């Protein structure tokens, strides 16, 4: 148990602190933590005093994804924002961070700190509402422009007007670029406003990667994609919609910087307890001086031919890191680039447990890494 002196120090900290044992049971909350959660002194260790946590979109957080459970699994918890429904029925936006202390010959404890960012997020939501309204006003005339350009492209192609058709295609491509840049801008500002989250669920990565590649080939009429996937299924707890966005961004970049007719390779395999997805192109490559900042927001290096705002790779990094994974790039000027996503694997969705307890989330299964080729 914690010493009385340490309890006194924690009790008087202005930062909200909670301490749990190795089983995930809360053994102490300091005064700041009790005030934030609206818990009376002396009741903080009773099961009925636990708050209910929700994701920013309002969906319930499964017990296996509670901050304490994540720390017990060895996952990083740093500025994780969740909605906390308090015992008085009110809801606050809390930002959690946590770490494990002790272990080995000494008892292990989980220390969770959190702060109330409700007012800050309310202001951010107002900013986002303004941005959303502005984006909507921009999209209305843009939608009309795209619809008319598409009709013009079809009609000029039907009549064999080659010069006019090329002009219509240029208008159409430019309009779609503007639409894509608006999407990226809104998404990045949603993250800054704390209105962005992932909703993980058990997903077959092999099927997801295959579907994205097939859909991309069909929509872009581009057949120069080789797909290498492992035998058998490959399941992980991820947000499939967000991961699809990652892959689409990487595929778009791969073809943007590749010469016509070149082949882009997409592969999926398992290394230890992680899935590895790689997108390899044979394009212009990246100057080594730009690689350390390639995933920064708005960073475009000195490439004046870039067709975006420099947000695509930034959003990829946000999504992958939110899953507890990582993204990296290997590149050589003139020989192409390989972007690799590494995501933690979990065999199955954990069964619901009691709030505040340590939850096991399934044991990752090592799988064959020899890839089979599909097209």
Annotated domain spans of the chain: 4-116, 121-192, 201-374
Mean pLDDT confidence for 145-165? 90
CA 302 to each of CA 235, 296, 299, 306: distance values in angstroms, whole numbers, following the listed order: 39, 14, 9, 9
H helix intervals, the chain? 4-11, 31-37, 67-72, 118-158, 162-192, 205-220, 240-256, 312-322
**How is residue 97 written in tokens?**
């961070």
Q: Could you give the dihedral angle defined by the CA atoms of residues 214, 215, 218 and 224, in that order, rounded to the nearest 10 degrees?
A: -50
Residues 175 and 146 sit within 8 Å (Cβ to Cβ): yes
For Cα atoms 212, 337, 368, give the angle at the middle one, nearest 5 degrees.
55
Strand 225-230 relative to strand 264-271: parallel, antiparallel, unpaired? parallel
Q: Is there a common fold for 4-116 and 201-374?
A: no
Rounded distance, CA 41 to CA 29, Å? Answer: 9
Q: pLDDT category, 355, cuts 50, 70, 90?
A: very low
The answer on pLDDT for 303 being more than 90 is: no
Helix, strand or coil, per DSSP, at residue 79: strand
**pLDDT of res. 225:** 74
Q: Which of 87, 46, 82, 86 lies closest to 63, judged by CA? A: 82
pLDDT band at 305 (very low <50, low <70, confident <90, very high): very low
| DSSP 3-state of 350 | coil
Q: What percent of the chain has pLDDT over 70?
A: 79
Whats the size of the chain, residue-wise? 375
Separation CA 333–CA 100 (nearest Å): 43
Query: What gap in Å lies between CA 237 and CA 346, rounded to an integer?
Result: 6
What are the residues facing 264 on neighbouring strands? 225
The confidence score (pLDDT) of residue 94 equals 92
Q: What is the token pair recorded at 45?
A: 């260790």
- Where does 314-374 show beta strands of DSSP type E? 326-332, 336-344, 371-374
The region of weakest confidence among 22-36, 101-115, 203-217, 295-309 is 295-309
CATH for 4-116, options being 3.30.460.10, 3.40.50.300, 3.70.10.10, 3.30.450.20: 3.30.450.20
Q: Which of 129-143, 186-200, 280-294 has the lowest mean pLDDT?
A: 186-200
Q: Are 117 and 94 in contact (CB under 8 A)?
A: yes
Q: What is the CATH number assigned to the segment(s) 201-374?
A: 3.30.565.10
Mean pLDDT of all residues in 262-286? 86
Residue 363 pLDDT exceeds 90: no
**What DSSP line would sit under 191-246, residue for residue?**
HHTT------EEEEHHHHHHHHHHHHHHHHT---EEEEEESS--EEEE-HHHHHHH
């Amino acid at each position: 148990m914690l010493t009385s002196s340490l309890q006194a120090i924690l009790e008087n900290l202005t930062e909200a602190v909670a301490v749990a044992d190795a089983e995930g049971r809360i053994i102490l909350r300091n005064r700041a933590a009790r005030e934030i959660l609206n818990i009376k002194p002396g009741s903080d260790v009773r099961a009925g005093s636990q708050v209910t946590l929700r994701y920013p979109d309002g969906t319930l957080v499964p017990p296996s994804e509670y901050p304490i459970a994540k720390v017990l699994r060895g996952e990083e918890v740093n500025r994780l924002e969740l909605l906390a429904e308090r015992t008085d029925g009110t809801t606050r936006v809390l930002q959690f961070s946590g770490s494990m202390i002790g272990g080995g010959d000494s008892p292990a404890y989980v220390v969770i700190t959190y702060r109330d960012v409700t007012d800050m997020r309310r202001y951010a939501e107002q900013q986002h509402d303004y941005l959303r309204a502005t984006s909507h006003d921009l999209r209305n005339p843009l939608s009309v422009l795209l619809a008319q350009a598409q009709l013009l492209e079809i009609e000029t192609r039907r009549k064999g007007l080659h010069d006019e058709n090329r002009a219509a295609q240029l208008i159409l491509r430019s309009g779609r670029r503007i639409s894509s840049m608006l999407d990226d801008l809104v998404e990045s500002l949603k993250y800054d406003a704390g209105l962005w989250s992932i909703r993980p669920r058990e997903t077959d990565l092999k099927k997801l990667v295959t579907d994205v590649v097939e859909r991309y080939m069909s929509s872009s009429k581009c057949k120069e994609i080789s797909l290498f996937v492992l035998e058998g299924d490959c399941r992980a707890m991820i947000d499939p919609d967000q991961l699809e966005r990652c892959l689409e961004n990487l595929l778009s970049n791969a073809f943007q910087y590749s010469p016509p007719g070149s082949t882009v390779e997409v592969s999926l395999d398992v290394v230890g307890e992680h899935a590895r997805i790689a997108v390899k192109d044979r394009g212009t490559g990246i100057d080594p001086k730009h690689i350390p900042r390639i995933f920064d927001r708005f960073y475009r290096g000195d490439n004046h031919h870039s067709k975006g705002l420099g947000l695509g790779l930034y959003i990829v990094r946000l999504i992958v890191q939110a899953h507890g994974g990582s993204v990296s790039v290997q590149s050589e000027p003139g020989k192409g680039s390989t972007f690799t996503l590494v995501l933690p694997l979990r065999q199955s969705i954990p069964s619901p447990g009691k709030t505040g307890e340590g939850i096991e989330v399934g044991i990752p299964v090592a799988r064959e890494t020899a890839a089979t080729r599909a097209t």
